[in-house]
Amino acid sequence: AQKITQTQPGMFVQEKEAVTLDCTYDTSDPSYGLFWYKQPSSGEMIFLIYQGSYDQQNATEGRYSLNFQKARKSANLVISASQLGDSAMYFCAMREGGGNTGKLIFGQGTTLQVKP
């Protein structure tokens, strides 16, 4: 069964510094996608970045990059040059292919606070 684990309930980072949010996953399916979402205090879910299991390079989207280590089954999110507006809850999620196509499972989330 698919499983997503985020072991950091809360993180602090100084403004303008980089921060890494950890995510590990477990699946026996060779085809899967990994996603990161941001949820600010307003409650909306904002898609940040996607990494496919067959992608050769780590995904990047502006200040967000995904450190994908397939053998270790980890998909850590790196936020560079943190901004006050990055303070939010961050969720890692996974969708499997194969017989369980489409179901997206979320981790428990990491609350990030950016300090001025």
Partner 1 sequence: GAGVSQSPSNKVTEKGKDVELRCDPISGHTALYWYRQSLGQGLEFLIYFQGNSAPDKSGLPSDRFSAERTGGSVSTLTIQRTQQEDSAVYLCASSPRGDWTGELFFGEGSRLTVL
Q: Where along the sequence are the contacts to partner 1 (CB under 8 A)?
A: 31-33, 35, 43-45, 47, 50, 52, 91, 93, 95-97, 100-109
Of 15 and 30, the one with the shorter C-beta distance to partner 1 is: 30
Q: Cα–Cα distances in Å, from 93 out to 41, 114, 115? A: 19, 23, 26
For the bound state, the minimum distance from the C-beta of residue 104 to partner 1, rounded and expressed in Å, comes to 6
Of 33 and 74, the one with the shorter C-beta distance to partner 1 is: 33
SS3 15: coil
Strand pairing partners for 86? none
Q: Long-range contact list for 99-104, CB < 8 A, 24+ apart?
A: 100/2, 100/29, 103/2, 104/35
For the bound state, the minimum distance from the C-beta of residue 17 to partner 1, rounded and expressed in Å, comes to 25
Of 4 and 114, the one with the shorter C-beta distance to partner 1 is: 4
Of 48 and 114, the one with the shorter C-beta distance to partner 1 is: 48
| Residue found by looking up tokens 């303070």 in the block | 87
- Over the range 47-60, which residues count as b (16 or more CB within 10 Å of their CB) and which as e? ebbebebeeeeebe
For the bound state, the minimum distance from the C-beta of residue 56 to partner 1, rounded and expressed in Å, comes to 15
For the bound state, the minimum distance from the C-beta of residue 33 to partner 1, rounded and expressed in Å, comes to 5
